[in-house]
Structure 1
Amino acid sequence: MDPREAASFIADNARDVTIVDEGVKKIAKVIAEAVKEEKLSLESFKQNEVLPLDKGLTTEELANWVFIVDAINFSFWTPDGLPKYSVKYNGKTRTGYLAMVSAVNRAIDEGKKIYDPKYYSKLTVGDLKKIFRSDTESEMPLFEERVKVMHEVGSKLVEKFDGSFANVLRKAEGSALKLVDIVASEFPCFRDLAAYDGKEVKIYKRVQILAADIWMLYRADGPGAFVDIDKLTIFADYRVPQAMVYFGALKYSDDLMDKLKKEMLFQNGDREEVEIRGCSMHAAELIVEETHKILKSWGLPVAGLNSIKVDYFLWDYRVTNAEQLNDTPYHRVRCIYY
C-alpha cells in the first residue's frame, strides 16, 4: 500500500491509537489562523534558517545538499538527563536535526565538499566525526549507521547517476510520487516499510520529506515544480505525533501511554509504533480537509495548504515550544528510517 492508503488502513484498524475529531479541528483552526496571518508560506519554516543559499552552490549542488542531508535525517532524540547533540554555528546553537545540518554547512565553510557524493562516499569514520563534532560530549546517535548510509548512497549516486541528484530529479519528470518511487527503489536506506495486519505498508518518511524539501528549496519552481506535490503525506516521525497528542488530535490507550511514560524503547515495525506513525499520517489528511473547510468559510483561498505544510507547521511548533510539550510523551525507536 502506498503511504496515503496505508495510513487510512492503519487508522481503521488501530487498537492503541485513536484519531480524535475535536483535536483535528483544533489543529485545523490554529493552522487556518496561521494561513490567514500569512505565516504559512514556504519561506516561514525553520528549515529555511539552514539552507545553504549563501555559499555559492549551483542548482545541482543544492540538490545534492538536500539529498545527503535527508539521507542521514534520522534518530536525533536524546534519553532524558543526557546532553543533546548540539552545534553552534553562525552564533546560534542548535540541537538534533538542525544541529546536523549546521554541521554540514560548517564543513562547507571549512572547504569540505560534503554535498559532493564523490567526496563524502570516501570519508572515513574519523573524518566524519570531525565534520559532525558536537559542542557537548554527545555525538549523533547511530553514528556508524550514518557513515554506512553516506557511503552507500554516495557510491550509488556516483555509479548510476553521474554523481548528481539532479539526474534523479530529471528521471522523475516533475512528479513527486515518481521521485519517491525512484529513490526508494534505488537507495534501500529510504525504503521505510512495515507489516501491519498482514499487509505491507509504506510509511516512507525520509523519501517523502526529500521530495518536499526539494519542493521547498526551489520554491515549487524549476527542479521543485512537482505537479503532484499535494499527494504526499506527512513525514511520520516521533515529534509530529507528539504535537498531535498535545493538541488532542491523537489519543493513546492507557497501556500505550504507560509504556511511553516509562520511556520504553520500541522496535521499528512494532504494532504500536506503526499505529502511531500511520494514524499521525491519516490525522494530517483530516487536518488538511478541515483547514480547507475553515478557510473557505472565511472566504479565503486554501493557499496551497497540504500535508507537507501541516507537517512543517507541527514540527516547527514542537521545536519552538519544546518545554511546553515536555510532559507529552513520545515514542522512542532507534532506526535509520526516522
Structure 2
Amino acid sequence: MADEVCGPYLTNSTSTNAGWHTFSSVFIWKRAQILVAELWAAFYPASPSEPHPLFPAGAAIHQLTMFADYRVPQILHHLNIITYPPSLLKILRGQVMLETGCREELSIRSASIVAVERVRLAMLRLATEADEDDKREGEDGTRISSVLIDFYLWDLAKRVENGEESITGIATVPIEPVHRTRSIWY
C-alpha cells in the first residue's frame, strides 16, 4: 500500500532527491515516505482491531525506511550506533554547509537508513527471544517499524540537544551539531 500512495507522488514529482556515489545513483525519497507515514499516523484507529480508514488493507508501513534527515543521524552518532571520521567531525563542528548530494551528505543519510534498519531487526530479534507474542510485527507490520523508530529518535535528539534529557546506562559520545545543507528535501 505504501507503494500505491508513494507511486503517484514520485511519478508526478518534477525533481528528485538524488545524488551520485561511486558511479551509481542514490535516491532518497524522504518526502514521499513522510507523506505515507504522516497519513498513517494521523488517522491511526483508536483500536488495533479497527481497520485504518485510509489503508484498510494495511499501509505496509514496515516497507518504509527511516526518513534520512539531519536530526536522526545526530542522535545515532551520540548513541555510538554510527561513527563519523575525524574529517567529518571537523566539518560538523565548523558548521560548514555541505553541498546537497555530496559524498558526505549521502554517506550520513545512507548510514542512518542502514543503522535504523539494523536497530529494527535487533528489536525484532529481542522481541522474539523475550516473548512469543511480541515477535509479531502486528497485523499490518507496524509494531516495530523504522517509521516509529525514526519518530522516537527524532524527538529524543531534540530533547538531548536541548538538555531536557540525557542518556544513561550506555557509553555515548558528545552530541555533535547536525550536518548542514541547503535543500528542499529536508
Alignment TM class, shorter chain as reference: 0.7 to 0.9
Equivalence for 1:16: none
Counterpart for residue 329 of structure 1: 177
Aligned 8 A contact 2:77 2:175 in 1: no
Letter in 2 for 1:267: E
Q: Unaligned regions of 5+ residues in structure 1, if any? A: 1-174
What CA deviation, in whole Å up to 9, does each residue of 1:240-294 have, x standing for no partner?
Answer: 0001001010101111111111111001111010000011001111000000111
Shift of 1:178: 2.6
The Cα offsets for residues 184-209 of structure 1, whole Å up to 9 and x where unpaired, read as: 221335x3222211111211111111
Local SS of the residue matching 1:305: coil
Residue among 168, 177, 186 paired with 2:3: 177
Which one has the largest radius of gyration? Answer: 1
**Cα separation, 1, equivalents of 2:69 and 2:158:** 14
* Change in CA separation of 1:213 and 1:224 when aligned onto 2, cut-off 3 Å: farther
Amino acid at match of 2:13: F
Counterpart amino acid of residue 21 in structure 2: Y
RMSD: 1.8
- Give CA-to-partner distance per residue, 1:94-146, whole Å, 9 cap, x none: xxxxxxxxxxxxxxxxxxxxxxxxxxxxxxxxxxxxxxxxxxxxxxxxxxxxx
The question of 1:309 aligning with 2:148 is answered yes
> Counterparts of 1:327 and 1:265 in 2: how far apart (Å)?
18
8 A Cα contact 2:161 2:175, kept in partner: no
- Find the counterpart in structure 2 of residue 205 from structure 1: 30
- Alpha-carbon distance in structure 2 between the residues aligned to 1:228 and 1:199: 28
- Superimposed CA distance per residue, residues 142-184 of structure 1 (whole angstroms, 9 cap, x where no aligned partner): xxxxxxxxxxxxxxxxxxxxxxxxxxxxxxxxx1123222102
Contact in 2 for aligned 1:208/1:235 (Cα 8 Å): yes
What residue in structure 1 maps to residue 85 of structure 2?
Answer: 253
**Which amino acid in structure 2 is aligned with residue 290 of structure 1?**
A
TM-score (norm 1): 0.46
Q: Return 5+ residue gaps in structure 2 as ranges.
A: 46-51, 138-142, 167-173
SS of 2:20's equivalent? strand
Letter of the structure 1 residue corresponding to residue 3 of structure 2: L
Residue 240 (structure 1) aligns with: 72
Amino acid in structure 1 at the alignment position of 2:134: P
Paired positions, count? 163
Q: Is the 8 A contact 2:74 2:175 kept in 1?
A: no
Which whole-Å CA distance do the structure 2 matches of 1:198 and 1:178 have between them? 30
Contact 2:68 2:113 in 1 (8 A): yes
* Letter of the 1:296 counterpart: T
State the SS of the aligned residue for 2:101: coil
| One-letter amino acid matched to 2:2 | A
- Could you tell me how far 1:295 is from its partner in structure 2? 1.4
Which runs of at least 4 in structure 1 moved beyond 6 Å after TM superposition?
A: none
Is the Cα contact below 8 Å between 1:177 and 1:232 reproduced in 2? no
Normalising to structure 2: TM-score of the pair? 0.81
Q: Equivalent residue of 1:301, what SS? A: helix
Q: Deviations over 1:223-249 (max 9, x none)?
A: 144442211110000000001001010
Higher helix residue share = 1
Query: Is the CA contact (8 Å cut-off) linking 1:218 and 1:224 kept in structure 2?
Result: no
In 1, distance between residues paired with 2:82 and 2:12? 34
Residues 1-338 of structure 1 mapped to structure 2, 5 A cutoff: 175-188=1-14, 191-219=16-44, 221-225=52-56, 226-299=58-131, 300-302=133-135, 303=137, 304-324=143-163, 327-338=175-186
Determine the C-alpha separation between the residues in 2 that align with 1:245 and 1:286.
14
